[in-house]
Amino acid sequence: MCGAGSDEILSLLAQAYLSAGDEAIFTEHGFLVYKIAILAAGATPVAVPETDETANVDAILERVSEKTKIVFLANPNNPTGTYIPHDEVRRLHAGLPSSTLLVLDAAYAEYVRRNDYESGVELAGHADNVVMTRTFSKIYGLANLRLGWAYGPAAVVDALNRTRGPFNVTGPAQAAGIAAVGDRAHVEAAVAHNEKWLSWLSEELTGLGLRVTPSAGNFVLIHFPDGAGKDAASADQLLREKGLVLRRVGGYGFPNALRMSVGTEEANRAVVAELAAFLESAG
């Protein structure tokens, strides 16, 4: 089924499967929409600690109880860019009771080029309690048109179709989505561009003395040193004055980090150059 972005689908899943007294799990640096959707449904959000900014299957399973109705897993995760391999996803699913729905949020799946990664299509196609969500907002660049989709068991999709609005996806979004699916050249070019510049940014930023979380997406999470003058807030202010907009991620538990999407060559080089000058001037 389709929705106004995968955000709407995540909210519909929460509304359909959660109520007061229920719990839903997500990881500590997981996508903020999970907590919002859980609270909006009247349920209790349960944030599970990560290991090295990566989802920990054992930690998730330890928090599962008879109250757990949904486990949300962003893979790769936003804003860290980390992922867990398909063997770990399957181990997570095997450890869940059949009454718990596993929601695999694969918004950045098209960018991942790792042999041990699966988006969740196969698992969602065979299990009765797994749903995969995807979006046209990332690699297709259609975020402003709001278009996402979900794939999973017929019973779950039926519940979502009965609870969504009848006109939740606009005509222009549908037309753009159909065109985007057929434009393989764009996807291949976007993947190639990201492969080149993701590694370049990671190396260059690390070379400046900044810690970068290893990412499988189309962005990097940049950690700044503690201390006046070199922190993320100061860097963000400087970059914005230069017309370079990164993302503050304090709400995700990273008060001293910025998330940078892979941009054009010009933008990527400009950010690195400005941060180099910033760190040097800060002493």
CATH number, domain with residue 164: 3.40.640.10
Give mean pLDDT, residues 196-201.
Answer: 98
pLDDT at 58: 98
User: Is residue 227 pLDDT above 80, yes or no?
Assistant: no
User: Contact, 96 vs 131, CB < 8 A?
Assistant: no
| Shared-domain flag, residues 106 and 150 | yes
| Shared-domain flag, residues 170 and 249 | no
User: Is residue 87 pLDDT above 80, yes or no?
Assistant: yes
| Shared-domain flag, residues 166 and 29 | yes
Domain boundary residue, one of 182, 210, 232: 182
Helix 154-163 to helix 5-17 angle (10° resolution) is: 100
Tell me the percentage of the chain whose pLDDT exceeds 90. Answer: 97
Q: Model confidence at 282, in pLDDT bands (50, 70, 90)?
A: low
Pairing of strands 44-48, 23-27: parallel
| SS3 of the chain | CEECHHHHHHHHHHHHHCCCCCEEEEECCCCHHHHHHHHHCCCEEEEECCECCECCHHHHHHHCCCCEEEEEEECCCCCCCCCCCHHHHHHHHHHCCCCCEEEEECCCHHHCCCCCCCCCHHHHHHCCCEEEEEECCCCCCCHHHCCEEEECCHHHHHHHHHHCCCCCCCHHHHHHHHHHHHCHHHHHHHHHHHHHHHHHHHHHHHHCCCEEECCCCCEEEEECCCCCCCCHHHHHHHHHHCCCCCEEEHHHCEEEEEEEECCCHHHHHHHHHHHHHHHHHCC
pLDDT in tens, 97-119: 999 999 999 999 999 999 999 99
| Shared-domain flag, residues 166 and 191 | no
| Shared-domain flag, residues 233 and 121 | no
| Shared-domain flag, residues 213 and 168 | no
| Shared-domain flag, residues 196 and 244 | yes
| Shared-domain flag, residues 117 and 242 | no
pTM given for the model: 0.94
User: Contact, 43 vs 37, CB < 8 A?
Assistant: no
pLDDT in tens, 159-177: 999 999 999 999 999 999 9
What's the mean per-residue pLDDT of the chain?
96
| Shared-domain flag, residues 172 and 193 | no
pLDDT at 228: 67
pLDDT in tens, 119-152: 999 999 999 999 999 999 999 999 999 999 999 9
| Shared-domain flag, residues 136 and 113 | yes
CATH number, domain with residue 255: 3.90.1150.10
| Shared-domain flag, residues 21 and 33 | yes
- Taking CA atoms, 32 is separated from 79, 105, 127, 148, 248, in Å, by 10, 12, 26, 17, 13
Domain boundary residue, one of 132, 160, 182: 182
Overall number of domains in the chain? 2
* Domain with 248 in it: 185-281
Question: For residues 81 and 223, what is the distance between their CA atoms, to the nearest angstrom?
Answer: 13
Question: For residues 74 and 103, what is the distance between their CA atoms, to the nearest angstrom?
Answer: 8
Domain boundary residue, one of 182, 214, 245: 182
Cβ burial 189-226 (10 Å sphere, 16+ → b, else e): ebbeebeebbeebbebbeeeebebbebbbbbbbbbbee
| Shared-domain flag, residues 138 and 13 | yes
